[in-house]
Amino acid sequence: MTAPRTKRWGLVALAVAGPTAAALVAVAGGIPAGEAVQLVVQSCLGAAVTGLIISGVLFVLRRRPIGVQVAVAAFAPVLAVALGAGWAASQMFITSHDLWVLWVVLLGAGTVGLVVALLLGRRVAEASASVGEMARRLGERGPGTPLAPGEGRPAGAGPHELVALAAQLEETSARLADAQAQAAALERSRRELVSWVSHDLRTPLAGIRAMVEALEDRVVDDPETVARYHRTMRREADRLAGLVDDLFELSRIHAGLLALDLHRVALDELIADAIAGASIAARAKGIVLAEQVDDPAPVVELSTPEMARVVRNLLDNAIRHTPAGETVVVHAALDATATQAEVWVQDGCGGIPEGDLDLVFELAYRGDVARTPGDGGAGLGLAVARGLVEAHHGEISVRNEGQGCRFTIRLPLAASAGS
Is residue 415 pLDDT above 60, yes or no? no
How many helices and strands (H and E) does the chain possess? 9, 7
Does 264 or 143 have the greater pLDDT score? 264
- Spell out the alpha helix ranges (H) of 327-380: none
- Provide, rounded to the nearest whole percent, the portion of the chain with pLDDT above 70: 69
The domain defined by 263-412 carries CATH number 1.20.1430.10: no
Evaluate if residue 7 carries a pLDDT over 70. no
> H/E/C letters for each residue in 169-225?
HHHHHHHHHHHHHHHHHHHHHHHHHHHHHHHHHHHHHHHHHHHHHHHHCCCCCCHHH
CA distance 264 to 268: 12
> What backbone phi and psi angles, to 5 degrees, belong to 209?
-65, -45
Distance separating alpha carbons of residues 281 and 279, to the nearest angstrom: 6
pLDDT score for 346: 92
- CATH architecture label of 188-254: Orthogonal Bundle (1.10)
- The secondary structure of 290-303 as a DSSP string is EEEE-SSPPEEEE-
Q: Collapse the DSSP code of 395 into the 3-class scheme (helix H, G, I; strand E, B; otherwise coil) and give the result.
A: strand
What are the domain boundaries of the chain? 18-158, 188-254, 263-412
- pLDDT, one tens digit per residue, over 217-244 is 888 888 888 888 888 888 888 878 877 8
What pLDDT, on the 0 to 100 scale, is given for residue 373? 39
Q: What's the rounded mean pLDDT across residues 393-414? A: 89
Taking the alpha carbons at both ends of the chain, their separation in whole angstroms is: 38
